[in-house]
Structure 1
Amino acid sequence: MKAINISQRRRCQINCQLSMIHRDHGRISKIYRKAFSEAWSPILLIFIMVSIPLNIAIILLLRSGVLNTFEYIPVSIGIVVHTVIIMVLIVPMCFEVETLHQTKKDISGIVPNIKQIRLKLKYDDWYGRLLHGPKFGPVISTYGSLTYRMALELLGMYIAFWLFALTRLNI
């Protein structure tokens, strides 16, 4: 009888710890979203508001033909620095999203061993959300969460834009 009480008490402790893990993950996700909306979002907005006219000015400067060969080098370096700054701002947010989804590797082994139905359904839903649902973390309105794949696609589009613009110049 004493062994049954100990195993029930141990199971209750495990269930409480699992509930706490689920609750903490939800809190951390909310903290990341709030930090993005209060800190990173204004920085990115200001950077985009500055970078769009900067890109247009650089294209117009290159297109005008007033630059000689040696003046193209600083402009090219400016383009590369601008691209690096964009990636430096985006990659830490991608890392946050990746970190929030690391638990999906551990949950797959935990769910079959949970005996309490309510907790099992909660973890199963959480696992499904981590695998197939929208990502946790910073969100760019219609594009979704910032992931490494999205950062790579943005970098590819940015480089393709510049290659397209530079091939159309009258040099």
Structure 2
Amino acid sequence: MIEVILFTHNTILLLQCSMLLSGTIMATYYVYHNELIHLNQNFIMISKKNSQHCCHGDRKKSITMNDLKNLGSIYRQHNILSYYQLYTDKDAWSKALYYYALVSIPINVTTVCELILEDMPTQTQLVFIVITIIHAFTGLIPFIKLAIVSSDSHRIKNHIPAIQLQLKYRHYLRMKLKYDDLYERLMFGRKIAFTFGHLGIITFRGLFEAFLAYFVAFFLIMGLYMKENIHSNQ
């Protein structure tokens, strides 16, 4: 009876921590995602509008002063969002996500191994399945959202070359240099993304690598379970 109470208490505590972290991550995602989507849409709209003017040979309508101000505003806001993303990651998120991954992955792997190898009653199996699903859901979805934020931060680089071709006159030189700098940072600089501490960065590629690491951990723990079962049977 005591073991059941302890198991229930620890399970509820773990799920509460996971849901709290997930909720906080989701709130962070919506803040960054909505702002970056707005910036990217405005930038693409300016680029497409002026590229159409250039295609029709209308030099007078290449880049208006209003568009130039909007480009400057987009540049500044993108830099601010990138700074806050990197700063908050270094200050808080990196360690929190690192310890969460360090604890969460072995727990999930162990639970799956228990389900596969251990002979449990049906009710216990259902409890383990529910715990595994909730734990995986509260862990995977928020990390995917953070990877989307990183993708949003870098999406603008795909459209910078097009706008650079339109900033070809002397009075656009200052803005052209700013976007040259932004393009270089997005292409070759530090990745604008949240991190798992020293484990890696939270991008779609980083999550794929973490997925592979999960399978490695799964087979290692599975091997330990099978060895233990063999020794116990002997």
**TM-score in same-fold range (> 0.5):** yes
What is the match of residue 53 of structure 2?
Answer: none
What is aligned with 2:184? Answer: 128
For the Cα contact (< 8 Å) 1:100–1:136, is it kept in 2?
Answer: yes
Distance 1:28 1:48 in 2: 25
Q: Residue 97 of structure 2 contacts residue 197 of structure 2 at CA under 8 Å; is this kept in 1?
A: no
The residue number in structure 2 matching 1:19 is 72
Task: Return the offset for 1:18.
Answer: 1.4
The answer to whether the 8 Å contact 1:97/1:136 transfers is yes
CA RMSD of aligned residues (A): 3.5
One-letter code aligned to 1:166: M
Percentage of pairs with the same residue: 23
Equivalent position SS for 1:94? helix
**One-letter amino acid of the counterpart of residue 97, structure 1:** S
Number of matched pairs:
159
Report the equivalent of 2:144: 91
2:162 corresponds to: 109
1:156 maps to a residue whose letter is: L
- Is 2:202 aligned against 1:146? yes
Q: TM-score by structure 2 length?
A: 0.53
Note if contact 1:101-1:130 (Cα within 8 Å) is conserved in structure 2: yes
Q: Structure 1 residues 76, 167: CA separation in 2 closer, same or farther (over 3 Å shift)?
A: farther
TM-score (normalised: structure 1): 0.69
Q: Which residue of 1 aligns with 2:119?
A: 68
- Give yes or no for contact 1:32–1:137 (8 Å, CA) kept in 2: yes
Which runs of no fewer than 5 residues in structure 2 stay unpaired?
1-59, 230-234
TM-aligned CA deviation for residue 153 of structure 1: 0.7
Among residues 174, 183, 191, which one is paired with 1:118 in the alignment?
A: 174
Q: Structure 2: how far apart are the matches of 1:151 and 1:50?
A: 16
- 1:154 deviates by 0.4
Q: Classify the secondary structure of the residue corresponding to 1:26.
A: helix
Q: Which residue of 2 aligns with 1:44?
A: 97
Which secondary structure state, in structure 2, belongs to the residue aligned with residue 139 of structure 1? Answer: coil
Single out whichever of 86-95 and 11-20 deviates more from structure 2: 11-20
Contact 1:134/1:145 (<8 A) preserved:
no
Change in Cα spacing, 1:11 to 1:89, as seen in structure 2 (3 Å) is closer
